[in-house]
Structure 1
Amino acid sequence: MKIDRLRRRREKRASHGRIGLGRVILMALLVLGTVLGVALATSYQSVTADLPDIDEMQPVGLGQNSRIYDRNGKILGYIAGVTNRTEIPLARIPVDLREATVAIEDKRFYEHGGVDWVRIVGAAVRNAMDSGGLRQGGSTITMQLVKNLYDPDAPRDFSQKIREAHLAQEVERRFTKDQILAKYLNGVFYGQNSVGVQAASLTYFDKPVWAINLPQAALLAGLPQAPSAYNPFVNPKDATTRRNVVLQEMADQGHITQAEADEAKASDLLLKRGRTYERKREGYFFDYVRQELIDRYGEQRVQNGGLAVRTTIDPRLQRAAEQAIAGNLGQEGDPAAAVVLIDARTGYIRAMATSREYGKDSQFNYAAQARRQPGSTFKTFVLTRAIADGINPYSTVYDSRPIDINDPRWGPIQVATYSNSYRGAVPISQATLASDNTVYIQMTLDVGPERVVDIAKKMGVQSDLPVVPSIGLGSGEVTPLEMAAAYAPLANGGFRVKPIAMTDLGTGIPKGDLATPKRTRVFQDGVAYEVTRILRDNVTSGTGGAANIAPNVAGKTGTTDDYTDAWFVGYTPR
């Protein structure tokens, strides 16, 4: 009996001791909570006293990739930046992804006014009891948005948390919950250079975000907390664990059933490395447009400005140009070839093709960058200059003979025909059909090499040209793009047009800021008519016979020594 009473007294004292210890812990927590509450209030007043109104603060421009399209609106590719981002409306973001994000990042998102005080105090208590330091976060989605948009480089200390809390409440008063969530989902970093859910989905799954399923949505929702640690390409096991945590949170909070969560957890990661931001169609033309944009607007604006660039390239004509090259010079070991097609009325570049596979053989654009001697195609500028000066190409006769002149202005000049055969007295028109070098060197000397250069420049040649007699035979170096543009005045009655690759940039830059078609008269339409008449005969009866594949084609061939380069520049007059 005595033993039982002693046992009961000990148990009673132990019980009182446990109750007493519980009361002490409870009192300590209450005191700690009170102290923290006072400290928070004091800190809040101190930190926010001098904060500007959020309307006075400039949000960080997140930017997004610019896109380049063909003339029909089909995308050619994205211009790469430091990060990839494509903004989309909330309506295109799956409900699963929205709910997964709220579940794992801020489960009381729709209940608080920007700050989850319960979460902040709880995090502060846990951190205080764990030797100090703000290791457990209390940031809401709105607070994270504030950090990303207004203070991305601020130090991560307690004062900054208070600052974010204050600004978050300002944001909540100005935007709806849906607007805040949309801004967050379009602006948070998901790893792999991807900012926003669309870029992340294209990167991890190679599909737009509206096409992903529940387990994929959960995977994305789990990435922002630690994008590198949970990168599924690098750490698939950790990524799977994190995804499953998100799925369980969704089930616990009633967004999905437990059965749905379990089924999704059993799923593979369903990864497919996307190349959307790397892939290009018409790579040479794409790079040409990109460089033109950078030259005009600067690299930063082009990479991050979100431009939607409508170009002039015509897919049908581009395919035709590529097929023409492949059918003639498409074999390994063949010389490099290039084709440029320009609309002579507007200057719009409709095709730009080369024989080299972009990114494999080279990224050098033979159509726009390769400066080569154009050979006899340059005789057209001599002919145009002569006719513009009033010389009749049918009655004016030159002597087709070997040329050996020692001119003090130019030094020794020796010119022969390719075949070493000569025609004697021959009108300019016939000399053109035969592409007679000896006649054209005499014509160049008569009209003046400097005036040949002048007319070539006025018609559209941009490259520096030597002012020498041999310029009339094509001794300068030009690009195919320049030559296509320079023949355009012959096709449209004497008006020069500048090559144009873009017609619209979408939002952000007025359409009028682009180079719109501008026609500048270089010579009278009668000059264009007479030159075209001779160049048409050249196609039907002269050296350009291979181009006689359609009515009214006019043009001129050109070859350089040892067939190093071979050209044809032609057009159909309007």
Structure 2
Amino acid sequence: MMIYSADGRLMNQFGEKKRLPLPLNEMPQQLIDAILATEDDRFYLHFGVDPIGMSRAVLGQIIGQNKGGASTITMQVARNFFLTREQTYIRKLREIFTAFHIEYLLTKDEILELYLNKIPLGHRSFGFGAAAQVYYNKDLKDLTLAQIAVLAGLPKAPSTLNPISNPERAKARRAVVLGRMLATGYITQEEYLTAKNAPITAQKHGAEIELDAPYAAEIAHQKLIEKYGSEEAYTGGYKVFTTVTSTLQNAAKAAVIDNLLAYDQRHGYRGPIQQLRKITEDESAEEVDPLTSEEISNTLKTVEHYDPLIPAVITKVDMQSAEVTFENLEKQTIDWTGMSWAREYFTDDKQGAAPETAADVVSYGDVVYVTLSGEGYRLAQLPSASSALVSLSPDDGAMLAVVGGFSYKQSQFNRVTQAKRQVGSNIKPFVYSAALENNFTLASLVNDVPINQWDRSTGVVWRPKNSPEEYSGEIRVKRALAQSKNVVAVRLLRSVGLDKVVNHLASFGFAPSDLPKDESLALGSASLTPLEVATGFAAFANGGFLVEPYIVERIEDSFGNIVYQANPKMACDPCNQFENDPTLTADTQPTNQLIKQSDFKEEIPRIKAERVISPQNAFLITQALNEAIWGADWSIKPGWQGTGFRGRVLERRDIAGKTGTTNEAKDAWFSGYSRRLVTTSWIGFDDPSRNLGKTAWNKNLGKDQVIGKEFGAKSAQPAWISFMDVALKQYPYEPFMQPEDVVSVRIDKATGKLTTRTDKSSTFEFFKLGTAPTEYVTKDNSHEIFDSKTSELSEIF
């Protein structure tokens, strides 16, 4: 089973037997000649059984001398396809009669083609096309005569004659093959001598992975097993083409890795992997036994490699630099900029003092990880936190990029699809969406003051708090979502009703069993996977449709015939809306908007996705989430800006998004989207008892460092920004289109009422037709009527 990206890059290969079937006319003539000369030089003359060869073999058995085997190529095909290799006369008779039948049904060329593609040739390769890849990492047509002769010698005993397990025996067998080719006139004396004296160059080669996407490939792998069963999936020779694109996948991988390394390093250095020398305070590196090249090389061979981390040994420590030696004994220098971050790690919340010299960080003989970037080598460590990022097409649910952790080698647990984590404020857009369906507008005022809820059954007061603990008094719904006001989300849930909110959230594809039946739901106590969260956000991006994520775009059999073509549910109404759309390029077309006639005899009609919210609701929530990035007002006191303001660096106004942080910052999220792309980023620890902590100022790192408590905007959004910076370049600017029955009117910022003023006290706001305010403001609100005293207000229910 070969799994490819949408642009044809090999992502992974699964199965016990490797086959690359080729038609006979694509087999090198020298290979055909070598096989005929070695295995059956009268193949085109006999009728499936060679009387001369059979007589010679029988005579050898009688007189006790090996006169050669009696099996023809046809008989070997019979044995390989239909029989066992047991050494009995009954099996041999069956082989003979089966060979007769094969000769009756097939031409000689068809029989030879079957033989060349079926024969086992060692190291799980079956057929010469696969053997060329396994032993030489070449296409069959690119092999030299010497290499062809090695392969042609394998059918006799592939386990003992292959050039990897026994190069000397392979060389001797090659000489036999070349000798027979010379004797039968297939090659000249000069060709014979050149090939016979050539070195054995074979090495074992696995599949040449062109795109590192193991988490995505594993999802596709499991889909094939579900569809065909494990035996057929592994032996059917299927080529699976996914929806993943190499550009976006590479961007996602880099975003997750870079963000995890940045998070991990600002929390401090946990020390070397191991120490080859223990140096006391009274010793210097010169006084201990020097490290030998063999010791360094052998040690580093045992250290696990995790891309992009490179194992190395510290072999010299200067004042503010260190020399490292790699497994190949190459030496490089880590300068101060590559190690000044490495203050001591104490806990997730506490770090040591900033180092002043290299000796404060590393010692002679330390085994460490380093990374290489355009700025040179940098000290690193394997992150202890985990992360995930998934990106979908909101038009049809195609999974465009999937990264389920720092390294698949480190952990095969796919956090995109398997990790149900509390979502924090990522849930709020869905709660606000429910509010808009129940008599609220973006301009509705909600009281942003603390809540104190007495629970008679437990005797405990529930006090949900904003983060940070700042309160604004009466605040418009749109601004409350942009600022992620916790108490406003709770008040909206109360006003709508818990049951209605749960039902509304379930319509976005969230399992009701994952939605707590209490008011903590408004603050994100629900546990969902990143894929589920991204799917929910896709409904806002596509105008209100619930798409179903999928990754397998099509499946081809070993002969290139399409045996499966995805036909996903489309976010379209009507479903011909994408045809002849001038805003879409070939790169931005929905992945499966129509099955081509060239692929199937008939076009498969689109399937419309279920509409779960109105286009007006989706548009209004998107406006609020655009405000979370672009919204700000410094003309009032205190000024404010949206929690996702860091996304402005993308310089795209056609984006929207939402931060998310759970209680004690055990999980941090950012989910955001453009019209054609929705992406969710998560970071946290696999150990649920750990939180993301906080960091203190490191005097070595300058003004751009991240300090303080970790939360969605600091911890998860950087990966989202890094990915979207690459991804959005693939999509032209496309504003979210204002649907029918949505109007825009000028309102007073403080009251949400209509106004005739055109100064900073007013703004334009969108409303669903019939919900816009009808009353004009009668009070002058050109100055800010709220101040910090509102934060001292409280209300007891």
TM-score range with shorter-chain normalisation? 0.7 to 0.9
User: CA shift at 1:355, angstroms?
Assistant: 5.7
Shift of 1:354: 5.1
| Aligned: 1:137 with 2:69 | yes
Name which of 152, 172, 186 aligns with 1:221: 152
For residue 511 of structure 1, what is the aligned residue in structure 2?
Answer: 564
Counterpart pick for 2:123 among 185, 192, 201: 192
Supply the AA of the counterpart residue of 2:564: K
Cα distance 1:160–1:296, how it changes in 2: closer, same or farther (>3 A)?
A: closer
Find the partner of 1:272 among 184, 194, 203.
Answer: 203
User: Please, which of 434, 445, 461 is the counterpart of residue 385 of structure 1?
Assistant: 434
The separation in 2 between residues aligned to 1:516 and 1:101, in whole angstroms, is 52
Worse overlay, 269-278 or 487-496: 269-278
Write the distance in 2 (CA, Å) between the matches of 1:142 and 1:514.
Answer: 44
Q: Secondary structure at the match of 1:538?
A: helix
Q: CA deviation at 1:414?
A: 2.8
**Bigger Cα displacement from structure 2, 100-109 vs 385-394:** 385-394
Cα distance in 2 for partners of 1:260, 1:75 equals: 36
Is 1:202 matched with 2:255?
Answer: no
Which runs of structure 2 are paired with 1:320-399 in the superposition (5 Å)?
320-331=251-262, 332=381, 333=383, 335-353=385-403, 356-359=406-409, 361-399=410-448
Over 3 Å counting, the alpha-carbon distance change for 1:200 and 1:451 in structure 2 is: farther
Asked whether the equivalents of residues 446 and 488 of structure 2 are also in contact (C-alpha less than 8 Å), the reply is: no
Distance of aligned partners of 1:180 and 1:409 in 2 relative to their CA distance in 1, 3 Å threshold: farther
Which of structures 1 and 2 has the bigger CA Rg? Answer: 1
2:159 paired with 1:110? no
CA contact (8 A) 1:396 1:427 kept: yes
- 1:564 equivalent to 2:498? Answer no
* 1:530 aligned residue (590, 608, 620): 620
| Superposed displacement of residue 516, structure 1 | 5.3
Alpha-carbon spacing, 1:76–1:512, altered in 2? closer, same or farther (3 Å): closer
Q: Deviations over 1:128-168 (max 9, x none)?
A: 2329xx996311000010111122x3743223222222221
Give the drift of 1:457. Answer: 3.0
Contact 1:504 1:514 in 2 (8 A): no
- Post-superposition Cα deviations, 1:300-323, rounded to whole Å, max 9, x if no partner, equal 222122222221112222233334
For the pair 1:554 / 2:650, whether they are aligned, the reply is: no
Write out per-residue CA displacement over residues 348-383 of structure 1, whole angstroms, 9 at most, x where no aligned residue.
111123561332x33332333322211101111111
Is residue 534 of structure 2 the alignment partner of residue 484 of structure 1? yes
Contact 1:401-1:423 within 8 A present in 2 as well = no
Seen in structure 2, the aligned counterparts of structure 1 residues 74 and 172 have a Cα distance that, compared at 3 Å, is same
For the pair 1:502 / 2:577, whether they are aligned, the reply is: no
Unaligned runs of 5+ in 1: 1-65
Q: Write the deviation string for residues 467-512 of structure 1: whole angstroms up to 9, x where unpaired.
A: 2321221112212221111101111111111112121112466435
CA contact (8 A) 2:396 2:568 kept: no
The structure-2 alpha-carbon separation of the partners of 1:409 and 1:396, relative to structure 1 and needing over 3 Å to count, comes to farther
* 1:345 to 1:514, Cα distance in 2 relative to 1, 3 A: closer
Q: What CA distance in whole angstroms lies between the structure 2 residues aligned with 1:87 and 1:190?
A: 14
**Post-superposition offset of 1:225:** 1.1
Amino acid at match of 1:556: K
Aligned partner of 1:92 among 13, 26, 35: 26
> How far is the alpha carbon of 1:126 from its aligned partner?
1.5
Contact map agreement 1:502 1:514 (CA 8 A) in 2: no
CA distance in 2, matches of 1:410, 1:197: 77
Which segment is superposed worse, 468-477 or 314-323? Answer: 314-323
Q: Does 1:426 align with 2:426?
A: no
Instruction: Tell me the CA shift for residue 273 of structure 1.
Output: 1.9
Distance 1:372 1:394 in 2: 32
Does the residue aligned with 2:12 lie in a helix, a strand or coil? strand
Please state how far the C-alpha of 1:111 moved relative to its aligned partner: 1.1
The residue matched to 2:670 in structure 1 has which SS? Answer: strand
Are the structure 2 counterparts of residues 342 and 310 from structure 1 closer, same or farther at C-alpha, using a change threshold of 3 Å? Answer: same
Structure 2 contact 630–653 (Cα < 8 Å) conserved: no
Query: Which residue type is aligned with residue 544 of structure 1?
Result: G
The percentage of aligned residue pairs carrying the same residue is 34
Which residue matches 1:415?
A: 464
Q: Residues 391 and 400 of structure 2 are in contact (CA less than 8 Å); yes or no, is this contact kept in structure 1?
A: yes
Distance 1:127 1:562 in 2: 82
Structure 2 match to 1:464: 514
CA contact (8 A) 2:260 2:406 kept: no
In structure 2, relative to structure 1, the CA distance for the partners of 1:426 and 1:348 (3 Å cut) is same
Whole-angstrom CA distance in 2 between matches of 1:409 and 1:303: 57
Unaligned runs of 5+ in 2: 263-380, 571-606, 632-641, 676-735, 737-797
- Aligned residue for 2:160, secondary structure, equals coil
- Contact 2:426 / 2:660 at 8 angstroms: preserved in 1? yes
Q: 1:181 to 1:325 in 2, by over 3 A?
A: same
Evaluate the alpha carbon distance shift between residue 181 and residue 514 of structure 1 in structure 2; reply closer, same or farther with a 3 A threshold. farther
* 8 Å CA contact 2:554, 2:566 repeated in 1: no
Residue 293 of structure 1 and its aligned partner are, at CA, apart by 2.2
What CA distance in whole angstroms lies between the structure 1 residues aligned with 2:660 and 2:111?
64
Contact 2:256 2:406 in 1 (8 A): no
> What's the CA shift string for 1:239-276, capped at 9, x where partnerless?
11111111111111111123321221111111132111
* Residue aligned with 2:156, SS: coil
Q: Please say which of residues 542-551 and 274-283 is displaced more in the overlay.
A: 274-283
Comparing 228-237 and 363-372, the one that deviates more: 363-372
Q: Is the 8 A contact 2:446 2:491 kept in 1?
A: no
Secondary structure at 1:330 match in 2: helix
Task: Tell me the equivalent position of 2:495.
Answer: 446
| Residue 67 (structure 1) shift | 1.6
Who is 2:82 aligned against?
150
- The offset of 1:94, in angstroms, is 1.2
Higher relative helix content: 1
**Structure 1's 511 and 543: CA in aligned 2 closer, same or farther, altered over 3 A?**
same
Matched residues in 2 for 1:129 and 1:449: separation?
A: 93
SS class of match (2:658): strand
Match of 1:493 in 2: 543
Q: Which residue of 2 aligns with 1:402?
A: 451
Contact 1:230 1:239 in 2 (8 A): yes
Pick closer, same or farther for the CA change 1:392–1:278 going to 2, 3 Å.
closer
1:230 aligned partner: 161
Distance in 2 between the 1:523 and 1:427 partners? Answer: 22
Give the alignment of 1:35-184 within 5 angstroms.
66-78=1-13, 80-130=14-64, 137-151=69-83, 153=84, 155-184=86-115
Deviation at 1:446, TM superposition (A): 3.4
Calculate the aligned-residue CA RMSD, in Å: 2.5
**Matched residue SS, 2:659:** strand
Name the structure 1 match of 2:192. 261
How many Å separate the matches in 2 of 1:450 and 1:411? 23
SS in 2 for 1:511: strand
Distance 1:479 1:438 in 2: 25
- Alpha-carbon separation, structure 2, partners of 1:158 and 1:366: 57
Residues in 2 aligned to 1:407 and 1:288: alpha-carbon distance in whole angstroms: 48
Taking a change above 3 Å as real, the CA distance of residues 345 and 280 of structure 1, as seen in their structure-2 partners, is: closer
Distance 1:410 1:139, change over 3 A: farther
The answer (yes or no) to whether the contact 1:337–1:355 under 8 Å persists in 2 is: yes
Equivalent residue of 1:337, what SS? strand
Q: 1:115 to 1:468 in 2, by over 3 A?
A: same
Q: Work out the CA distance in 2 between the residues paired with 1:451 and 1:277.
A: 52
C-alpha distance in 2 between matches for 1:85 and 1:207: 14
Q: Please list the CA deviations of residues 378-410 of structure 1 after superposition, one character each: whole Å capped at 9, or x if unmatched.
A: 111111111123322422423421332327699
Q: Does the 8 A contact of 2:5 with 2:11 survive in 1?
A: yes
